[in-house]
Amino acid sequence: MSMVQTDYIVIGSGIAGLTTALSLGRTGHVMILTKAKQEESNSWRAQGGIAAAVGEDDSPILHQEDTLRTGVGLCNVESVNMLVQMGPNTIDKLSEWGTRFDRSDDGWSLGREGSHSVSRILHVTGDSTGAGITSSLLEKVHEQSNIQLHPHTVVQELIVRNGICHGVIMMDAERKQQVLTARKGVILATGGCGQVFRYTTNDLVTTGDGFALAHRAGAKLVDMEFIQFHPTALAVEQNPMFLISEAVRGEGAFLVNDLGEKFMKRYHDWEDLAPRDVVSRSIYTEMQQGRSIYLDATGIGDSFPERFPKIFRHCMKHGIDPRTDLIPVTPATHFIMGGIQTDLDGRTNIERLFACGEVACTGVHGANRLASNSLLEGAVFAQRVADSVSALPDLLMQEINFPEYVHDYTDPEQAKIWKNEIREIMWDHCGIVRNRERLETGLVHIRQLRDKIERGFFECRNMLITAQIILESALAREESRGGHYREDFPETKDKWAEKHHVI
C-alpha cells in the first residue's frame, strides 16, 4: 500500500468540509477526500436557507431562544450561544467567499420557517441555497493552490494509535488503496445517515460512514436516537425523495387531508409552522386513519415559480402545477441531531480527530433541530475546527506498521439488496413512532444482517453499525422528546432532561 503525507485531511465536500478547508487559509497543505462527485452532498441539496440573526427585528438572543425551545431541553447552551453569536459574521464570510444571498430593496431577503419567531432565513436563488453556497465554496477551494480536492475517494478506516489519529486508509478513484497521514489532524465532515432509512430526502452518499468510522476508531457518539423526519417530501416513489421546503409553508401554504380538512389546527397552536416532529407525527396519525396528505400552495399563486424555481420545476416534471394543484406529500427521514461528540472546537475524544457538520454533535440541536440551523452549524463550527487544528504542533510521525487492509470488493447489485433490507428494517422499526417491541425486533434483524454481510460491503456495514447504534439509543430512552417519539412512553419526562446517551 502506498503512503502519502499531508498537513490536514478533510473528509467530505459539503459545507462543513469546504468551510474547514478554506478557513485553514494557507497554514498548510489540505487534502479534501470525498467519496462521490464533489457536489454530491446534502449541502448541495439544501433548499430553504440558512438561519442567522441579521434582520432589524431580530437578535442572537431571539435566535438562541428559538433554538433552545425547539431542542426541548437537550441543547448545549454554550454551543447554541456560539452558533447564534457567530451567525451574522458567518453570513458575511460566506458572502466574501462568493455566495450571493437574495436581497430585497431594503436589505436581505429573509424567509420564515417553522418554530422561528421572526423571518431570519437567508436564501440563494429562492430555493437553491445549498447549491448556491457550495458552488461558491468549491470555486474558492479550486483557486487555492494549497488545497487539493479528490473526488471518488472513499475513506475506509481511520488510523488511530495510542489514542492519536494519524491518518486514514482510503480507496482512490482508480480503486487503489492508500495510507494518507496528517501532520496536523483529520477532520470528519462526512454528513448524516438518511440512507439508513427507506424514505429519505438525503443524498445517496449519506450511508453513515463517518459515524461508523468514528465508532470503530473508539470515538464517542451521543444522542443518536434523535432523528428529524421532515413532514413534506414529495410523495412520489424515488430515492432520494424530493423535498418541498418548509419555506413554502412559511409563504402561506398549508396541509390538507383528502377530506379537505386543514388538520394541523387539531394538533398544534402554531398549525402548519409547528415544530417538524409535531407536523410529521400529525401527518402520520392522519395517514394511519387512511388519509392522504397534500400541501395546498395555490395561495402563493403566480409568484411560486419565481420564489421556488427548483421546487416548481421538479413538481412540473411530475405533472403537478403548484399554482393550481395540491402537492402530495409524506414525511421522510431528513436529519440526525446526534453524532460524534465534540467540544466547541470540534475536538473528539481521540487526539487530532475533529468533527464538524451533521456528523458531529456539538449539542446545538438538542432533541430537535430548528429549521435552517444546520447549514449555519456546519459553517460556524468548521471555522472553529480550523482554528484549533491549525494551532497544534506537527505530529512527529512514528514508525507505524499499517496493516494491509482487506481489499474492498462490492458487488453493486448485492449491495443494493442489502441496503434496501436495512432501510426497510429501520423505517418499519425505528421510524416516526417507536415502541419497545418494534425496536427490539429491529435490533434482532440488524444483528442477523451483521452476521450475513461480508466485510467487503463497506457502505452496507457502515449502515449496519449506524442503524444498530440508533436502535440501541432509541431503546434506552424511555420517554418522548423532539425527534424521538415512543408510543409506549409518550410523555416528556423531567428525569430525562439533560440526559445524553453516549455510545
What cell numbers appear for 410 in the block?
462490492
Amino acid sitting at position 104 = S
User: Whole-angstrom Cα distance, residue 377 to residue 225?
Assistant: 20
Candidates 76, 79, 136, 190: give the one binding ligand FAD (CB under 6 A). 190
Q: How far is CA 351 from CA 10, 165, 354, 498, in A?
A: 15, 6, 8, 26
Q: How far is the CB of 128 from ligand FAD (least distance, A)?
A: 10
184 interacts with ligand FAD by CB under 6 A: no
| Nearest alpha carbon to residue 197 among 357, 430, 41, 453 | 430
Short-list 436, 503, 425, 442, CA closest to 475: 436
Q: Which stretch binds ligand FAD (CB under 6 A): 44-52, 67-75, 308-316, 443-451?
A: 44-52
Of the candidates 45, 276, 307, 486, the residue annotated as catalytic is 276
Binder among 70, 202, 228, 368 for ligand FAD (CB under 6 A): 202
- For ligand FAD, the binding residue among 81, 329, 358, 395 (CB under 6 A) is 358
How many chain residues touch ligand FAD (CB under 6 A)?
A: 44
For the bound state, the minimum distance from the C-beta of residue 319 to ligand FAD, rounded and expressed in Å, comes to 21
What residues contact 82, with CB distance under 8 A and at least 6 apart? 344, 380, 381, 384
Stretch that binds ligand FAD, among 86-94, 278-286, 291-299, 372-380 (CB under 6 A): 372-380
- DSSP state, 363? S
User: Which DSSP state fits 10?
Assistant: E
From candidates 12, 71, 111, 275, binder to ligand FAD by CB under 6 A? 12
Measured between its terminal Cα atoms, the distance across the chain in Å is: 32
Q: Is 267 in the site for ligand FAD (CB under 6 A)?
A: no
- Among 108, 211, 335, 457, the residue binding ligand FAD under the rule CB under 6 A is 335
Of 2-10, 261-269, 374-382, 435-443: span binding ligand FAD (CB under 6 A): 374-382
Provide the 8-state DSSP code for 357. Answer: G
Closest listed residue to residue 38, CA positions, set 15, 55, 56: 15
249 catalytic, yes or no?
no
SS (H, E, C) 223-286: CCCCEEEEEEEECCCCCCCCECCHHHHHCCCEEEECCCCCHHHHCCCCHHHCCHHHHHHHHHHH
Residues 33, 170 contacting (CB under 8 angstroms): yes
| Only segment of 289-297, 312-320, 370-378, 423-431 that touches ligand FAD (CB under 6 A) | 370-378
Among 7, 8, 9, 14, contact with ligand FAD (rule: CB under 6 A):
14
Can residue 50 be called a binding residue for ligand FAD (CB under 6 A)? yes
Instruction: Note whether 8 binds ligand FAD by CB under 6 A.
Output: no
The DSSP bridge partners found for residue 121 are: 51, 111
Q: How many residues does the chain have?
A: 503
Q: How far is 382 from 380, CA to CA, in rounded Å?
A: 6
Contact flag: residue 41 with ligand FAD (CB under 6 A): yes
Amino acid at 435: N
- Least Å distance, CB 297 to ligand FAD, is 17
Which residue number places its CB atom closest to ligand FAD? 14
Q: Is residue 189 part of the contact set for ligand FAD (CB under 6 A)?
A: yes
- CB neighbour list of residue 92: distance below 8 Å, 6 or more residues apart: none
Is 138 an interacting residue with respect to ligand FAD (CB under 6 A)?
Answer: no
280 alpha-carbon distance from chain centroid = 18
170 vs 443, which CB is nearer to ligand FAD? 170
Site membership for ligand FAD, residue 23 (CB under 6 A): no
Is residue 357 involved in binding ligand FAD (CB under 6 A)?
A: yes
Of 204-212, 283-291, 300-308, 494-502, which segment contacts ligand FAD by CB under 6 A? 204-212
Helix ranges, 100-253 (H): 129-143, 209-217, 246-250
Span of 203-211, 292-300, 316-324, 487-495 interacting with ligand FAD by CB under 6 A: 203-211
Which residues contact ligand FAD (rule: CB under 6 A)? 11-17, 33-36, 40-43, 45-50, 129-130, 154-155, 189-191, 201-202, 205-206, 209-210, 243, 335, 357-359, 372-375, 378
The catalytic residue positions are 276
